[in-house]
Amino acid sequence: MRIRTRLTLWYSAILLGILAVIGSLSYSVLRWSLMQDLDASLMTVAQVVHDTRSDDTDDSDLETILRNLLGPESYDRFVQLFDPDGRPRPRVPQPRASMLPFSAQAQANARRGIKTFETITHDREQVRILTVPIVEDKRVVRIVQVGSPLTRAQGVLRRYLETLVVLIPLGVGLAAAGGYLIAGKALRPVDEMTAAARRITAEDLHQRIGRLGTRDELDRLAETLNGMLARLDEAFRQMRRFSADAAHELRTPLTALKGGIEVALRASRTPEEYRQVLASSLEDVDRLIRVAEDLLLLSRAAVPPEMPRPRIELEPLVLEALELGTRLAQGTGAHVKLGPVAPAAIRGDSGALGRAMRNLVENAVKYTPAGGTVELTLRTADGQAVFAVQDTGIGIAPADAERIFEPFVRLDAARARETGGTGLGLAIARSIALAHGGTLTLEREPGPGSCFVISLPIAS
């Protein structure tokens, strides 16, 4: 069912419920008002009887007054006079054909000087009856029973109910039709957004969904979708660039491997020449293996773990990175040292974090000239464990501060190939840090060199 139809149905159902409640309440108020008016009329008649009795008017005069006030028909049917014991007084000029019932409750109340309202069925119609005792000198001298048929009030209520039964469905129907049109107009921009989104494919993610400029929910939806398209566009561009870089990185050793093998097969070679070809090919194979392993590690590091991670201490990982840096610095003239180390524990994968630290140390040693220094530190601040690798190497230009974390980016490509680099070390380290809820940043320090910092949340 379409949203437009659902909105119309919900709106109509709620409106129907509201009108039904309002109709019920108005019907009850009208009924109460009619009964109040009827009771007031009966009280007026009773008051006339009381005032007439107070002037010592005899029964015949009282009956004449009531007959003139109510009319002969109403008087004969709905007025009765009783003595203090509840016996009906003789009628003048003729007795009535049928008497109104005089209930025991009304008699008991009358003896105590209390008026009583009742609704009864008399001669196949409902009648509202008021029984009033007339008290003189603290003594009941007469009981007057005045009635009024509810036919007129019931007729008014019936016509009002019939009006509600006709008008409420009609009003709900008109409101539903109007609501359906309004919902269609309100949701038309959503249809336009849907059509625009369907036209956007992976090849033209640069397109955007038009905004209405109303700054309402639909505008916010368009902004959200445009933001998602922008992120998808960037992700696709990075994916295409990554695929091209990976293909180029793999093609270079494969081309060298194929060329060496082809040259070796063109003519007969001595065993020593074949050995040299195999040794060169083995280097290219090792390079291919390193690239494949780095790509696999990069893809795994970007996926968050499904199981809770164990608690690990960072100090042993820092010492392992220091040992690797010391071995790599042998013969280069660079010096690797350990700075202040504070105990810190996090939750994570010790193997992956160790790889991230080793990548930073390897890069620092690789680009630090003879006589330079690489320093490793570990501290805690604001609930974070901060591992830093500070070197006095060639440094990094501000324009390349973020680019170096992209896969296959090498600021000195020729030198990187000579030293066996693939341009994935920093990308892998950042992916590992992000997967652990941390960050890897390049901080600008005064003086030469670079400072790479991994910040990780401390385990609670």
pLDDT in tens, the chain (460 residues): 788 888 889 989 999 999 999 999 999 999 999 999 888 888 887 777 766 654 455 555 566 666 666 665 555 566 777 777 777 766 544 444 456 778 888 888 888 888 888 888 877 778 888 888 887 777 877 788 888 888 888 899 999 999 999 999 999 999 999 988 988 888 788 888 888 778 777 667 777 777 777 777 778 888 888 888 888 887 777 777 777 767 766 777 788 788 888 888 887 878 888 888 888 888 778 778 877 777 777 676 666 655 567 889 999 999 999 999 999 888 888 899 999 999 999 998 888 899 889 989 988 998 888 889 999 999 998 899 999 999 988 888 777 777 788 777 766 543 444 454 567 788 888 888 888 889 999 987 666 788 999 999 998 7
- Residue 261 and residue 394 in one domain: no
Looking at residue 231, what is its pLDDT? 83
Q: What angle do CA 58, 67, 155 make, to 5 degrees?
A: 140
- Return the bridge partners of 335, or none: 373
The answer to whether residue 205 is domain-embedded is no
pLDDT score recorded for residue 94: 44
Rounded to an integer, what distance in angstroms lies between the CA atom of residue 421 and that of residue 423?
Answer: 6
Residue 344 located in a structural domain: yes
Report yes or no on 203 lying in a domain.
Answer: no
Residues 18 and 51 occupy one common structural domain: yes
The CATH number of the domain where 278 resides is what?
1.10.287.130
Say whether both 74 and 150 belong to one domain: yes
Q: How many helices (H) and strands (E) does the chain have?
A: 11, 11
Contact, 143 vs 110, CB < 8 A?
Answer: yes
Domain assignment of residue 197, yes or no: no
Last residue of a domain, one of 301, 319, 346: 301
- Rounded Cα distance, 354 and 346, in Å: 13
The reply to whether the predicted model has a pTM over 0.75 is: no
Q: Judge whether 269 and 277 are in contact, CB under 8 Å.
A: yes
Taking Cα atoms as reference points, which of 406, 412, 416, 408 lies closest to residue 440?
Answer: 406
The verdict on 131 and 22 lying in the same domain is yes
Same domain, yes or no, for 258 and 403? Answer: no
Residue 379 within a domain: yes
Element of type H or E holding 152: helix 151-199
Planar angle of CA 124, 130, 132, nearest 5 degrees = 145
For 451, residues 6+ apart whose C-beta sits below 8 A from its C-beta are: 388, 389, 390, 391, 442, 443, 444, 445
- Region label for 135, one of left (φ > 0), alpha (ψ between -120 and 50) or beta (otherwise): beta
Helix, coil or strand: residue 282:
helix
Same domain for 281 and 421, yes or no, is no
The residue type found at 426 is L
| Whether residue 284 sits in one domain with residue 151 | no
Q: Is residue 178 part of a domain?
A: no
Cβ density class 252-280: b for 16+ within 10 Å, e for less: ebeeebeebeeebeeeeeeeeeeeebeeb
Number of structural domains in the chain: 3
The rounded distance, in Å, linking the Cα atoms of 319 and 66 is: 117
Query: Is 286 found in the same domain as 353?
Result: no
pLDDT of residue 415: 43
Task: Give me the CATH number covering residue 321.
Answer: 3.30.565.10
The answer to the question of residue 17 being in a domain is: yes
293 and 350, same domain (yes or no):
no
Q: What pLDDT is recorded for position 80?
A: 76
